[in-house]
Amino acid sequence: MTLPGFPHVMPLEGFAGGLLIGLSAAVMLLGLGRIAGVSGMAARATGIADTGAPRGLAIAFVVGLPLGALVVSLLAGGVEVTFPSSIWPLVIGGLLVGFGTRLGSGCTSGHGVCGLSRLSRRSMVATGLFMASGFATVAVLRMGGLL
Amino acid sequence: MKQNLIALAAGLLFGAGLAFSGMADPARVQGFLDLFGAWDPTLAFVMGGAMIPMALAWMVQRRMASPLAVSKFSLPGTTQLDRPLAVGAVLFGMGWGIAGLCPGPAIADLAIAPTAVLPFVVAMVAGMALHRMLPSQH
């Protein structure tokens, strides 16, 4: 399915995939009483964070992410991904994402999916700011001829 | 053990959702943030889809004394808006825009495009470690 004017959009796949993500977060909340926040789980799994989920639980969640992606890739005969051609956006972006998500206590999953649906004031502010920052950053990259 | 299996299942669902929704693709995520280019609104559909089970889950959660598999809820209780929250979110948004990746898709992509995503994941873990080294963290 496509929408007029948006040649690349995948509304049905996006919505269905979103349901799976929301279901995952619901399992974490109702089953384990925790927020499905990937940055927090990753920090806990690597031992960078001392507090949070039990380490084994965090490792299990983090290991599940690539396994789930692998299952879809095998069933669908591949998942299309296009990466930046230079290593620098990945290195600079990775540093900012790692540092920023720790400082801001969450990312798209914890603040975005879990926090917004909880109507958490902190998550609404964080999500508004990282979206605005993302839009502005890409606009600047485009103006600078870097896209 | 049961807890870890539930977490693994949740991780699997999450990773599957990311891959199926197109969010494992950095170009598509960057396309959502690219308002002045060929804008790709897919991410908004993903967010909309994810909100439905979670909004229901929060309604159920309010009526539960404890989670199903453990003795108590461990949920963030901070409500204060502070500078680290704001600065962190802005820095995260910059990195998200530059690379087209946030933590979930980056880790999920270790199964789809391991060599391509590895520099991002290594840098992301380094960024997390760098934050821990800040004096205020001790």
ipTM: 0.96
* pLDDT at res. A2: 66
Q: Residue A129: which of A146, A113, A147, A108 has the closest Cα?
A: A108
CA atoms within 13 A on the CB side of B16: 20
Nearest to A28 among B10, B110, B130 (CB): B10
Strands (E), chain B: none
Kindly give, in sequence order, each residue whose CB lies less than 8 Å from that of residue B118, ignoring residues fewer than 6 positions away: B110
> Cα–Cα distance between B17 and A116 in angstroms, integer?
18
Chain A residue numbers touching B77 (CB-CB < 8 A): none
Tell me if A129 sits within 8 A of B93, measured CB to CB: yes
- Inform me whether the pLDDT recorded for B138 exceeds 50: no
**pTM of this structure:** 0.96
Q: What is the pLDDT of residues B25-66, one digit of tens each?
A: 999 999 999 999 999 999 999 999 999 999 999 999 999 999
pLDDT of residue A8: 81
B106 contacts on A by Cβ (under 8 Å):
94, 97
Q: Is B90 part of the contact surface with chain A (CB cutoff 8 Å)?
A: yes
Encode A95-110: b = buried (16+ Cβ within 10 Å), e = exposed.
bbbbbbbbbbbbbbbb
> Rounded distance, CA A28 to CA B5, Å?
11
Q: Which of 56-75 (A) contact B at CB < 8 A? A: 56-73
Q: Do B124 and A94 touch (CB under 8 A)?
A: yes
Question: How many angstroms separate the CA of residue B62 from the nearest CA in chain A?
Answer: 10
Closest CA to A33 of A52, A20, A48: A52
State whether residue B22 is helix, strand or coil. Answer: coil
What is the 3-class SS of A19-66, one letter each residue? HHHHHHHHHHHHHHCCCCCHHHHHHHHCCCCCCCCCHHHHHHHHHHHH
Average pLDDT over chain A, rounded to whole?
96
CB B53 within 8 A of CB A25: yes
- What is the average pLDDT across A37-61? 97
DSSP state of A3: B
